[in-house]
Structure 1
Amino acid sequence: MENGEKKNYESYVVVHNIAKRHNVGTLARSATAFGVSELILVGRRDFNAFGSHGSTSHLRFRHFHSLTLACSFLKERDCDICGVEITDNAVAVNEHPFRKSTAFLLGNEGTGLSAKECEICDFFVYIPQFGCGTASLNVTVAASIVLHHFGVWAGFSERSREGNKFLVAEKPINQMRRNYCTETAASVIEERKLKRESAAIGFFDESGKDEAAPNLLDTLFD
């Protein structure tokens, strides 16, 4: 920011191709801690809320069926879309290459950002590493680091503390209506159709206890 100018910036997190649904609950916790305005779910909207520690009550979710629709929404709000990925032209996140409100698109845990995802990004950041024992970070850890750097750059106000904890706000009144976007009946029907088709090809096959985990957003959007 130049000349001490104070602007109101916003940050968003776009969840598109994250394979492990339980990561989204932990991601929601970090998003709340670092002042994210909305967590945008693209395609799938179901996730395991484990790890969120109640933070989903303080975070707004928005859902789109495609990256194109999500991109249009963000551009209408004059947002840059930043891919968190090690690319040839990626800038170290600690250099704070931000210009305005920014939406962060995080890659799949195993394969990173796809070519389609990279196409909608205005720029990329990576997180410098100093040790030699791992090739990449967990997606929720990476998100926390990047969102913290953006909050520092944007001048977000630090939350008040009490003892060794930060103060948590009261849960919003009528949070089910206010904090979660609604959809038309037609879009819900279309989503369920896509989900059935995805299930038929094994898209939702996951091992372990995740399979029986609570599907938070199915309840919220019904």
Structure 2
Amino acid sequence: MTDPGPSEWSVPGQVGVGPWDGQWPAGDRWDPELLEHGDRRNVVDAYRYWRREAVAQDLARRAHPFHVAIENLGHDHNIGTVVRTANAFGAAGVHIVGRRRWNRRGAMVTDRYLSLHHQPGPAELVAFARDHGLALVAVDNLPGAVRLEETTLPRSCMLLFGAEGPGLSPEITEAADLAVSIAQFGSTRSVNAGVAAGIVMHAWIRDHANLADAW
């Protein structure tokens, strides 16, 4: 077996790696089509030439014990950003609450590698969290919310984000075990939901992740 190559595409602007150079590796994680034609997907080098299912299985094995939930009340464009960020930080699952259909463009195909769940409403989401021992953490500018910068997030938790504009629904905020807010210093009342999700997920990483496991 030889190393894969070439490491870069010869066409300017292309990303990824070209066809495998030499004898193909053995094992069911490898994708014959990618080995033959090259891999231009937006994946880390460790997953080059892997089948999509094999990547998803490995991510599930390495996943952190936090989930992310976002309410889908009006085809919110931020949902794709939240999904992509959850993939980057190794979330164990993402829950779309409310409408089943959502704008996947911002996810940049990362939803194919994640454990995605649809919850018809807050009651089903709360039931999932209770059944799986996940503390419910509401992220919003709510009365009594503690500063994210001054608290440690629970290790096993469900991070809850509302729709852009209205924020979290009353049913979810009432069920939350903890509410956190992000310190702000400008004139706007709140930051974008996709941005807020990235900030809070990274706070979880700082609190609990083993950075030796990062790529």
Q: Give the TM bin, normalised by the shorter chain.
A: 0.5 to 0.7
Once residues 54 and 46 of structure 1 are traced to their aligned partners in structure 2, the CA distance between those partners, rounded to angstroms, is 15
Query: Can you give the 5+ residue segments of structure 2 that lack an aligned partner in the other structure?
Result: 1-62
**Ranges of 4+ aligned residues in structure 1 off by more than 4 Å:** none
Q: TM-score, normalised by structure 1?
A: 0.63
Which residue number in structure 1 is paired with residue 160 of structure 2? Answer: 105
1:24 deviates by 1.2
Which residue number in structure 2 is paired with residue 172 of structure 1? Answer: none
Q: For residues 98 and 108 of structure 1, do their structure 2 counterparts lie closer, same or farther at Cα, with a shift above 3 Å needed?
A: same
1:155 deviates by 2.0
1:9 deviates by 5.4
Once residues 195 and 73 of structure 2 are traced to their aligned partners in structure 1, the CA distance between those partners, rounded to angstroms, is 13
Q: Is residue 45 from structure 1 mapped to residue 103 from structure 2 by the alignment?
A: no
Once residues 61 and 149 of structure 1 are traced to their aligned partners in structure 2, the CA distance between those partners, rounded to angstroms, is 22
Secondary structure, counterpart of 2:91 in structure 1:
coil
Q: Is residue 147 from structure 1 mapped to residue 215 from structure 2 by the alignment?
A: no
Q: For residues 128 and 56 of structure 1, do their structure 2 counterparts lie closer, same or farther at Cα, with a shift above 3 Å needed?
A: same
Q: 1:57 aligns with which of 112, 119, 127?
A: 112
1:150 deviates by 0.8
What does the per-residue CA deviation read over 1:13-36, in whole Å, with 9 as the maximum and x for residues that have no partner?
A: 112245343221111111111121
What RMSD, in angstroms, separates the aligned Cα atoms of the two structures? 1.9
Q: Do the aligned partners of 2:141 and 2:180 also contact (CA within 8 Å) in 1?
A: yes
**How many residues are paired up?**
152
Q: Is residue 116 from structure 1 mapped to residue 171 from structure 2 by the alignment?
A: yes
Q: Using CA pairs below 8 Å that are at least 6 residues apart, which structure has the higher relative contact order?
A: 1
Which residue number in structure 1 is paired with residue 87 of structure 2? Answer: 32
Which residue number in structure 2 is paired with residue 163 of structure 1? Answer: none
Which residue number in structure 2 is paired with residue 194 of structure 1? Answer: none
Q: Is residue 137 from structure 1 mapped to residue 196 from structure 2 by the alignment?
A: no
Once residues 56 and 151 of structure 1 are traced to their aligned partners in structure 2, the CA distance between those partners, rounded to angstroms, is 20
Which residue number in structure 2 is paired with residue 212 of structure 1? Answer: none
Q: Do the aligned partners of 2:97 and 2:118 also contact (CA within 8 Å) in 1?
A: yes
What does the per-residue CA deviation read over 1:160-218, in whole Å, with 9 as the maximum and x for residues that have no partner?
A: 2xxxxxxxxxxxxxxxxxxxxxxxxxxxxxxxxxxxxxxxxxxxxxxxxxxxxxxxxxx
Q: Is residue 91 from structure 1 mapped to residue 91 from structure 2 by the alignment?
A: no
Q: Do the aligned partners of 1:12 and 1:36 also contact (CA within 8 Å) in 2?
A: yes
Query: Can you give the 5+ residue segments of structure 1 that lack an aligned partner in the other structure?
Result: 1-7, 161-222
Q: Do the aligned partners of 1:13 and 1:38 also contact (CA within 8 Å) in 2?
A: yes
What does the per-residue CA deviation read over 1:26-78, in whole Å, with 9 as the maximum and x for residues that have no partner?
A: 11111111121111122212111112122112211012222212211111111
Which residue number in structure 2 is paired with residue 204 of structure 1? Answer: none
2:204 counterpart letter in structure 1: F
Percent identical:
31
1:123 deviates by 0.9
Larger radius of gyration: 2
Q: TM-score, normalised by structure 2?
A: 0.65
What does the per-residue CA deviation read over 1:125-154, in whole Å, with 9 as the maximum and x for residues that have no partner?
A: 010013x23221110000000010011111
Q: 1:125 aligns with which of 177, 180, 187?
A: 180
Once residues 77 and 99 of structure 1 are traced to their aligned partners in structure 2, the CA distance between those partners, rounded to angstroms, is 14
Secondary structure, counterpart of 2:155 in structure 1:
coil
